[in-house]
Amino acid sequence: MLDYIGIMVVSPRKSIQILVAEKRTILLGLAIVILASLVGGLNLAYIVSIKGLGFVGLKLPFSTSLSSVGIMAGYTMLNIILWLVLGILIYAFDKLLGGKASLETVLLAYSYQWLPVFIIGLLSPIFYYLDILTSIVAYVFLSVITFVWGYVYTLITNAEVNKFTLGQSFASILITFIVIISSVALSVSIAGGSL
């Protein structure tokens, strides 16, 4: 998989064409999500458990290593679930817009969303040299960059696998986000009303 990362970063359109032609399976997409999530989770775990617990002066035996493993595992599981749920929603809206790709291919294309998380995650050594507040600000800033960068990749790869224009791909992904945000807002308002 690592041999594909270079071409994925430089030319997402060309790399998704190659992966589809080689009939790469959903397992490659899952591997991308897991690898990127582990790297991203490591950054988050370092900031929260090592910097954060040190900042509040909490010194419990094994607390740092156990919380780090828990954070990384939780972050990875959350990303796998997000990849599957959002990928399925994108697939459904792709089909409504006349998309040609299979669910497996859409999930492979959507896994490109996690490539920037992996790449920027390699910058994690900077967190070792920053104080807690600067680490949090840098982490949030880098997270925003990876989100935007990842969705540019997703737009390009989704358009390619479905034979869409970028506008159609954007519409499919935008509809997915509107549905997700509306669902979360509705859930919060229902939960808030029952309190």
In the structure, what pLDDT confidence band is assigned to residue 46 with cuts at 50, 70 and 90?
confident
SS3 content of the chain, % helix, strand, coil (to 5): 85, 0, 15
Angle, in degrees to the nearest 10, between helices 103-110 and 132-162 = 150
Domain span holding position 189: 2-193
The model carries a pTM of 0.79
pLDDT of the residue at 166 = 92
Q: Could you give the C-alpha distances from 185 to 55, 77, 79, 179, 192, in angstroms and in order?
A: 34, 23, 20, 10, 10
pLDDT > 70: percent of the chain: 84
pLDDT in tens, 97-128: 999 999 999 998 888 888 888 877 777 777 67
pLDDT of the residue at 12 = 78
pLDDT in tens, 148-170: 888 888 899 999 999 999 999 99
Instruction: Give the gyration radius of the chain's Cα atoms.
Output: 19
The owner of tokens 């430089």 is 10
Total domains in the chain come to 1
